[in-house]
Structure 1
Amino acid sequence: MTFEEQLNNNPTVPDFSTHSPEPLPDWLSDDNLLRDEAALLGLSHAPLEEKTSLIRLYFKQQTISFEREREELGEKIGELNLGIEQKTNRIEELRQNITRLEAAKPDGEPHFLKTVTGLIACLGLLIGNHFLILETLRPHFEESRLLSLGVLLAGFLGLYHRTTSSTETTTPFSVRQLLADAGLPFATSFFVFIYACQTQSALSALGIFLFLFFLFLSVGKLIPGLLTALQNDFRYRNQEKNLKNERNLKTVAWENEINALTISVDAIRVQKWQLLPFLNRVELELSRSNTRRDLLIELFENEFNLARSLRDRLSEQQIRAIVAN
């Protein structure tokens, strides 16, 4: 919605009817008559407070409509200020949301290159290990290719299964645990060692045994960790992609809302500014009326006090003559 539509849909300029107060009594409208009234009151025995209260009552009736207008304008301006505050707070909240979303990052850190490099290295080790087992078993078995692959998988997958299925618990070391972790890698390595002894020297066969055993142990523990890291890397990439899509969608929606709220706030401010001249006019009229009231009361009191001070110096006959005139 444009600024003009916002402004037209929320007219706030008050439609106050032209106020025509009742005219003041003649003795209040004319300063000379006011002095005469005060002098007569001063020469009598009537109290001053009754007359000054009457003056205040007349002026209160004069300004009652202005008081009502000031109250209505104050309430309206208060409502507009509240609307401005609420919308401004919402704008600030949306800007903070945008800032937080722009700074948001997926959990963890990606190590994709490092993980892939490690997996490729492990795959190379497994391939080399396969050919080592193949050459060792070739003189003894016709189907040595498939057999060597099975031996390789047995030695590797035994510890791999233990690593991927075990939970992170701190259990004390035991022989049973040692056999569970290293039993199958040891058995496969010892199987190859037996046939290596028949075709190679004892030292070479021992070297093959130790190499295969520790390779099975290392790769069997390393690959599950690398696969978990790769899974985390893919999860990170997926979260990063989702976060980017969320950032694009929500940022656009929030910015559109901010623009709409800004237009609305500007329109409300204009409505408030339109009310201020009316409020200033009412305040001016009230100030003028109150000032005029205070001046008249002061004039009345001065004339009253002067007449009251002369009353004791005059005779009853002189007072009646003054009152009659």
Structure 2
Amino acid sequence: MTLSQRLRTFFRPKAASEISPPVLNPTGQAVPQPGFIQPTITAPQWQPLPTVSGSSSVEPLPYWLTDEETLRDEGVLYGLSTAEPDEKIAEISAYFAYQTAPLEATIEQLGQKAGEYDQLIEQLERRVAIRQQQITILQNQEPAQTHLLRTGVSLTLSAVVCIGNYYLIDHTLHPAFSNTWITAGVFLAGMFNLFGRTSFFYEEGTRLSGRRLIEETGLPLSASIFILVQALQTQSTLQACSLFVFVFMLFLLAGKLVLSTLTTLEAGLKTAQLNRRLAIDKQQKIPAWETGLDQLRQEISHLQAEKWPVATAQKQADSQRAQLNTQRDRLVNLFLSEFELARSLRNRLTEQQRQAIFN
């Protein structure tokens, strides 16, 4: 009979005829008396402590942890004495800490390995997302409007207006100046505004100064006045004045119109070149990028396949550690329960009863 069973025997309710103390045989076990019902205590079956695979050395198991009944007796001994349970609890914890140390190292190593796989997979997935976004953007990108037809028509009409203006000036100056170079010089002087970078006619919120007004209107006005003087010699005053206004406005506005149309044409040509480049990219880059995506996805699948055994081994190590920790907690609770029971009954036992328990 174990110590815990002996301790419970003293506090088991008995009939009046069973008050006499039990008789102990030479082996130290109580001899059942006539009519005495031997107490039966059914304890849970002792589970062997799990062993850690792969450990190079095994710490010797304390004798009082060899089976459950011995652990119960150890709890009773400490409960009936004046000792505290901290030392035994520390021994149990230290023993299981020694048992779980290889598992902790294995779990840490496998965790680092799995983390490396996760980092590589995350990098590849980020590259896949970026490449997929690039493919989507390129597929959804539409060619820009070039307006080349409209710009070409506008440039043609502007050129026709300028040519007509030239012949009008030549017709007006021909009676006095039959040399065509003179007509060309007057025309170019009036069209001087064509070579200016900007014009206050096409700008908003620009401060107009006298210097800029003379710069932009000086030569066109001078050329128009020169044509007016020559027109008054062969035409009526009304015709000459109307010719002056018409030619002066053409000098001011037609030049900028031609310049603006040329700028628009240049931008349209650049846009057309970009559109051709976009079409080439859709034909060449998208298939190449999709092939690269397939390769990246294959690499991800390969890394995931390599990670799976590592993750499985880590889960198994975690499970073994959890089993050891559960076993440790159960043994500690078992020891504490017997210790607290014996400590609570210690002062209620007589010296004879104590000797009967220990003998």
Do both proteins adopt the same fold according to a TM-score greater than 0.5, normalized to the shorter chain? yes
State the alpha-carbon separation in 1 of the partners of residues 113 and 283 from structure 2: 39
Larger Rg: 2
Paired residue secondary structure (2:104) = helix
Report which of the two has the higher share of helix: 1
Partner in structure 2 of residue 300 of structure 1: 335
Superposed CA offset, 1:58-117 (max 9, x none):
2222222222222222333333334444443444444455556667799x9744333322
Instruction: State the AA in 2 paired with 1:268.
Output: L
The yes-or-no answer on 1:72 pairing with 2:106 is no
Paired residue secondary structure (1:24) = coil
Deviation at 1:41?
4.3
Superposed counterparts of 1:1-325, under 5 Å: 18-19=54-55, 21-22=58-59, 24-96=61-133, 110-139=146-175, 143-156=178-191, 158-161=192-195, 163-164=196-197, 170-174=206-210, 178-240=213-275, 258-308=293-343, 309=345, 312-316=348-352, 319-320=354-355, 322-324=357-359
In 2, are the aligned partners of 1:155 and 1:185 still within 8 Å (CA)? yes
In 1, are the aligned partners of 2:199 and 2:256 still within 8 Å (CA)? no
Instruction: State the AA in 2 paired with 1:152.
Output: F
State the alpha-carbon separation in 1 of the partners of residues 154 and 186 from structure 2: 23
Between the two proteins, the alignment pairs up a number of residues equal to: 303
Deviation at 1:120?
0.9
Paired residue secondary structure (1:18) = coil
Instruction: State the AA in 1 paired with 2:167.
Output: F
Instruction: State the AA in 1 paired with 2:187.
Output: L
Deviation at 1:298?
3.1
Q: Which runs of 5+ in 2 are unaligned?
A: 1-51
In 2, are the aligned partners of 1:42 and 1:304 still within 8 Å (CA)? yes
Superposed CA offset, 1:228-250 (max 9, x none):
22233334444555666678787
State the alpha-carbon separation in 2 of the partners of residues 301 and 171 from structure 1: 96
Deviation at 1:260?
4.6
Instruction: State the AA in 1 paired with 2:154.
Output: G
State the alpha-carbon separation in 2 of the partners of residues 179 and 42 from structure 1: 116
In 2, are the aligned partners of 1:133 and 1:148 still within 8 Å (CA)? yes
State the alpha-carbon separation in 2 of the partners of residues 205 and 30 from structure 1: 130
In 2, are the aligned partners of 1:133 and 1:192 still within 8 Å (CA)? yes
Paired residue secondary structure (1:128) = helix
In 2, are the aligned partners of 1:80 and 1:268 still within 8 Å (CA)? yes
Deviation at 1:121?
1.0
RMSD of aligned residue pairs (Cα, Å): 4.1
In 2, are the aligned partners of 1:137 and 1:144 still within 8 Å (CA)? no
In 1, are the aligned partners of 2:96 and 2:328 still within 8 Å (CA)? yes
In 1, are the aligned partners of 2:199 and 2:216 still within 8 Å (CA)? no
